[in-house]
Structure 1
């Protein structure tokens, strides 16, 4: 009996996108407004947030589809803080609860990054530099820089659709 071997190297092409890390202390809606203003885009909050680990970590996401350039812009939060109450296991007369705050990250390699701006097309260096310069013009943003997506271990978390 003949053995057939399928090679799927070229079937699954890697998606090309540009990723910008943003460090700031702004709320997500305020940052989306300022990016809209400085970049000339129209980010809108999606009706459903990104939900990982069955509701244990939820990340806000804003998106804009540029039909003219056939590009999708996404602004996503990197940090998710959840609070839960747990009974203290003291052997005392009065039971008490303690509040535990857990922090989860969309991209754990970049724990200091507050937000990611994902642009779903590969853009040339001059366009990327133009976008970065306009992002850095926002006074409330401490810093922003491009990330090499090929070096990310958790790049599967950046698949939003």
Structure 2
């Protein structure tokens, strides 16, 4: 009887470009600025990008725009999620309970901790004007810096595949 071996290859490679943005404004303001300066139409999705990590429920704001004429999808994601973890420590007495709170910050892409936002651009056409897009992004007053990220270098690139 013959043995057959099934070889599974990673054919699910999603080709996209990634831009890291350093900016201290809120997510809705960042989407507004991109809409205004880059002529996009980013809108907040009904559901955010949700993860469960270390027992915490993480929710990253997610804005999306599908350009039907250029066959391009733009996804703006916040890279960090901050929450307060409150603990009560009982010391055994009636009134000696101590309450402590710690600020916990989790990242969508931990390798890019300094980036505030990620702009994922998925396109079916091979000619994307990334340089012009970067120049326009860096000319926004509130944006500190924006640069492209090599996706192959990221260990947590699977966090960006959410279709």
**Aligned counterparts, 1:62-81, within 5 A:** 62-81=63-82
| TM-score (norm: length of structure 1) | 0.91
Matched, 1:18 2:23: no
Contact 2:77/2:117 (<8 A) preserved:
yes
**Counterpart in 2 of 1:6?**
6
Deviation at 1:57, TM superposition (A): 1.3
Q: Secondary structure in 2 aligned to 1:120?
A: strand
Q: Secondary structure in 2 aligned to 1:26?
A: coil
Q: What residue ranges of structure 2 are gaps of 5+ in the alignment?
A: none
Q: What residue ranges of structure 1 are gaps of 5+ in the alignment?
A: none
**Aligned counterparts, 1:39-118, within 5 A:** 39-53=38-52, 56-90=57-91, 93-118=95-120
Q: Secondary structure in 2 aligned to 1:35?
A: helix
**Aligned counterparts, 1:22-33, within 5 A:** 22-33=21-32
State the alpha-carbon separation in 2 of the partners of residues 17 and 49 from structure 1: 20
Aligned partner (choices 114, 135, 138) of residue 136 of structure 1: 138
**Counterpart in 1 of 2:161?**
159
Number of matched pairs:
159
Deviation at 1:95, TM superposition (A): 1.4
Contact 1:107/1:155 (<8 A) preserved:
yes
